[in-house]
């Protein structure tokens, strides 16, 4: 079976590179892969403390902090996946110069591997949410069966943006340097820590179409509320993700023949 010129051998290569990248990320550290869990846990803990005790946040119609914590993590976990996925994907080609030059394979796999790196903090976030729900006496929602679909849309979107940025980063190395600042601005410009209703009405009209907000909202509706996501969000994000991946793949394949002169 061949999809977008990718076949079974490419899938095997994809999984091998993912395992290698995950192992290399914490190579030499005393705790090793434990950091893959500790790092997102520490970030979640910091933001949960800040928005629970320093700048207390509450959900409309609810006065307890427990429900807000679940809501916060259900948005911040997917954001960590977006952040980690884009950062890894953008630097994937440049940081694997030796692999690109010496091994015959489809180099467009590398940004997709980078996008997969976001699965680790996302998985940690989902476990934290389920633990908080159990502590609060809530049973897991039946809508969790929809998570693979939402995850597929998210990975397709991040992979598409990652393909574009990774190819651009080969020629403009400032891309990887400016990306963390851009992602920080996107984080605080998106309804991740605050409800959408907290933003001014004129801004709200634009934020509702923010893909980062929609990804977080899809997780919140499925994992926290236990309801089906709005149809327009599913259609909008699916179309956007397919277009992003197709566009990113076209851009990458158009530029990769020139990589050898810049790596």
DSSP helix/strand/coil, 6: strand
Give, in degrees to the nearest 5, the angle at Cα 142 between 138 and 126. Answer: 65
Alpha helices in the chain (DSSP H): 8-25, 34-49, 65-90, 97-102, 109-116, 119-135, 147-171, 174-189, 201-207, 211-219, 231-255
Tell me the pLDDT of the chain (263 aa) as tens digits: 676 778 788 888 888 888 888 777 765 555 666 777 787 888 888 877 877 777 666 665 566 677 888 888 889 999 999 999 999 999 999 988 888 888 778 889 999 999 999 998 999 999 999 988 888 888 888 999 999 999 999 999 999 999 999 999 999 999 999 999 999 999 888 888 888 887 888 888 888 999 999 999 999 999 988 899 999 999 999 999 999 999 999 999 999 988 888 77
Of the candidates 137, 85, 71, 96, the one whose C-alpha atom is nearest the C-alpha of residue 259 is 96
pLDDT in tens, 169-196: 999 999 999 999 999 999 888 888 888 8
Domain ranges of the chain: 24-261
């Amino acid at each position: 079976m061949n999809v977008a010129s990718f076949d079974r051998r490419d899938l095997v290569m994809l999984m091998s590179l993912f395992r290698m990248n995950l192992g290399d990320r914490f190579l030499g550290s005393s705790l090793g892969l434990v950091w893959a869990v500790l790092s997102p846990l520490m970030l979640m803990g910091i933001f949960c403390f800040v928005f629970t005790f320093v700048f207390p946040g509450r959900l409309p119609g609810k006065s307890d902090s427990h429900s807000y914590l679940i809501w916060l993590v259900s948005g911040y976990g997917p954001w960590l996946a977006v952040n980690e996925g884009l950062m890894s994907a953008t630097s994937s080609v440049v940081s694997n110069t030796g692999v690109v030059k010496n091994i015959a394979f489809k180099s467009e796999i590398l940004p997709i591997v980078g996008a997969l790196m976001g699965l680790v903090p996302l998985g940690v976030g989902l476990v934290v949410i389920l633990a908080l729900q159990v502590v609060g006496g809530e049973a897991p929602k039946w809508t969790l069966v929809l998570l693979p679909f939402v995850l597929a849309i998210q990975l397709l979107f991040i992979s598409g943006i990652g393909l574009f940025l990774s190819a651009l980063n080969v020629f403009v190395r400032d891309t990887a340097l400016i990306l963390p600042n851009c992602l920080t601005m996107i984080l605080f410009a998106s309804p991740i820590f605050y409800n959408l209703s907290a933003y001014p009405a004129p801004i709200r009209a634009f934020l509702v179409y923010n893909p980062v907000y929609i990804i977080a909202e899809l997780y919140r509706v499925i994992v926290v509320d236990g309801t089906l996501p709005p149809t327009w969000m599913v259609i909008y994000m699916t179309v956007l993700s397919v277009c992003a991946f197709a566009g990113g793949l076209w851009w990458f394949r158009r530029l990769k023949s020139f990589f050898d002169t810049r790596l």
